[in-house]
């Protein structure tokens, strides 16, 4: 179906989407230009017509994946509810846990980490997420929902790390349960407990 009547922008689009899938499944090192072309149903010429090569195409793919992840997270973090509820919604949002994080997994890719250009969208996305969460924790402290001694930036890093590490535990065990258990543990530590609330009155 792809072989007839394709416009140039269709081809560019399919190359990016195929690269996104392959980066998620096999990582940068494990994704050959040949595999991308096969999945996109495109010829080598069309790839070099639109992109300078694999790094350039991967950059477009990583940027788009990072934007999507940011939009999804913002949808939950900017949603209704108290700070704790929004953090809970973020931690419990539906995820394809066994596939891992399409952004975070790239940090285990030596060629992504070795390239400032490819690493930048990964770093910026996780950084944005930490800042956003830190703001919510600070908001929760102001409302008395979190203990005043907690540091927003540190808790935010713990939240993002629990999610990223949750993928590791889930994939190691072959089941999403381990992800959920780690999230439950973090939520039990963050939960405004009855006796703490009373202490603060």
Binding site for a copy of itself (CB under 8 A): 25-27, 29-30, 100-101, 104-105, 107-110, 113, 119, 122-123, 126-127, 130, 147, 149-151, 153-169, 171-174, 178-179, 181-186, 188-190, 193, 195-196, 199
Cβ-based neighbour number of residue 24 at 10 Å: 19
Alpha helices in the chain, H assignment, sequence order: 8-26, 33-40, 44-50, 54-77, 83-92, 110-113, 116-142, 152-173, 177-190, 194-200
Distance between terminal CA atoms of the chain? Answer: 67
| CB closer to a copy of itself, 23 vs 46 | 23
Q: Measured from the CB of residue 76, what is the shortest distance to a copy of itself in angstroms?
A: 18
Q: Measured from the CB of residue 46, what is the shortest distance to a copy of itself in angstroms?
A: 26
| CB closer to a copy of itself, 82 vs 158 | 158
CA-closest candidate to residue 40, choices 29, 31, 27:
31
| CB closer to a copy of itself, 14 vs 152 | 152
């Amino acid at each position: 179906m792809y072989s007839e009547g394709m416009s140039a922008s269709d081809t560019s689009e399919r190359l990016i989407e195929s690269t996104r899938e392959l980066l998620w499944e096999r990582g940068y090192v494990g994704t050959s230009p040949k595999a991308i072309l096969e999945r996109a149903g495109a010829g080598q010429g069309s790839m070099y017509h639109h992109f300078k090569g694999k790094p350039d195409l991967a950059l477009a793919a990583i940027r788009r994946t990072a934007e999507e992840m940011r939009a999804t997270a913002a949808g939950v973090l900017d949603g209704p509810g108290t700070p704790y509820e929004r953090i809970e919604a973020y931690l419990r949002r539906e995820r394809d846990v066994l596939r891992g994080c399409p952004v975070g997994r790239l940090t285990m890719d030596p060629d992504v980490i070795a390239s400032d250009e490819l690493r930048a969208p990964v770093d910026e996305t996780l950084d944005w997420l930490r800042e956003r969460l830190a703001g919510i924790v600070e908001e929760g402290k102001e409302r008395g929902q979190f203990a005043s001694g907690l540091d927003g930036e540190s808790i935010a890093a713990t939240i993002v790390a629990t999610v990223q590490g949750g993928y590791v535990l889930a994939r190691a065990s072959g089941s999403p349960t381990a992800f959920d258990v780690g999230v439950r543990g973090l939520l039990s530590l963050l939960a405004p407990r009855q006796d703490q609330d009373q202490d603060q009155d």
